Amino acid sequence: MFAAPLFSGTLFALAAGLMWGLVFVGPLLLPEYPATLQSFGRYLAFGLIALPLAWFDRATLRQLTRADWREALRLALVGNVVYYLFLASAIQRAGGPLPTMIIGTLPVVIAITANLRRARAGTRAEAPLPWGRLLPSLGLIGAGIALVNQVEIEHLRAEPAADLGRYLLGALLAVGAVACWTWYPIRNAEWLRAHPDRSPRGWATAQGLATLPLAAIGYALTWAWFGAAGSEFPMPFGPRPGAFLALMFAIGLFASWLGTLCWNEASQRLPPSLAGQLIVFETLSALAYAFVLRGQAPQPLTLAGIALLVAGVLWALRAKAEPVAAAAHPN
């Protein structure tokens, strides 16, 4: 039987994945909007949403030190603004499938990085998972991603107007997004597991507040750049202001605040090496949303890849059930 922290942590990771899959939809629904505007717009909405929520989390926010706020600012910059800037740019240049494929490597990259990385001073140290336990689940996840990737690459090759240079740039930008989101969950989990008495919801709100000035400055600079360059793009909200504002606030609420909240809850219950593998839920959600937008059913090879992804996650959960229960208590 799964231990309670493992079960609840997995459910929170699943919820976060369902929310984060939405971020792959925005650039496809607003292709005429620059990636910079979508990134800063999304996190400006996230910061504005966090303002009233800060009232409910005021007790937790008062407990944060200056060092905690600096950490929230770093997490907001790398894990929010820069990550989505890379991702939105990649999706606009390479379409939805290719960045999804590359982001799909995150469970493997994060799990390996977390297993090799030493915890920073002052944070809770987790014993590295034995590679014998980790590698089978990583192998299943990697094989599943490879199958899905093969199908998507064939789909890209079938496009008559495919611009390989543009796809390559999109792939490189997606790799940059992977680097940002390899650093973010490990660093975020270290803080949360070093402060087991702190509210994950309050920490999500703190990151939203830290994101607000970054996004506001970025949005203002983008507006000024468009004006100086003589761009005909209508500012401040573009040619479809209603759709832009609605989508930014929807993603800001569900993907940014609620997704971060669910991930923080999962991070406080699970060690980073296991939590990293559960980011596979984001990949599965993004693929599902992409197929809905395409109006197509997944091919058999894609379904086989998805089955391997799920099998890898289940293997990881079974292999880690007992150690997670012991790790759930503060040192």
| Lowest model confidence (mean pLDDT) among 49-63, 72-86, 124-138 | 124-138
Q: What is the mean pLDDT of residues 100-117?
A: 77
pLDDT of res. 291: 82
Single-letter residue type at 27 = P
Single-letter residue type at 130 = P
pLDDT in tens, 166-175: 878 988 999 9
pLDDT in tens, 233-276: 999 999 999 999 999 999 989 988 888 889 888 888 887 767 77
pLDDT in tens, 124-161: 455 566 777 778 877 888 888 788 778 777 777 777 76
Helix axes 164-194, 106-116, angle to 10 degrees: 40
Which residue, 3, 180, 158, is CA-closest to 78?
A: 180
pLDDT in tens, 192-215: 888 888 888 888 889 989 999 999
pTM to 2 decimal places: 0.77
Tokens of 72: 């929230």
pLDDT of res. 283: 79
Which residue, 19, 38, 39, 20, is CA-closest to 30?
A: 38
Please say if the pLDDT value at position 319 is more than 60: no
pLDDT of res. 96: 73
Please report which confidence band the pLDDT of residue 103 belongs to, taking 50, 70 and 90 as the band edges: confident
Residue-by-residue DSSP string for 148-201: HHHHHHHHHHT-TT--HHHHHHHHHHHHHHHHHHHHHHHHHHHHHHH-TTS-HH
Tokens of 295: 């109006």
> Into how many domains does the chain fold?
1
| Lowest model confidence (mean pLDDT) among 6-10, 17-21, 321-325 | 321-325
Please say if the pLDDT value at position 288 is more than 80: yes
Task: Show the domain range for 87.
Answer: 4-327
pLDDT of res. 323: 38
Tokens of 15: 């919820």
Please report which confidence band the pLDDT of residue 118 belongs to, taking 50, 70 and 90 as the band edges: low
Mean pLDDT of the chain: 82
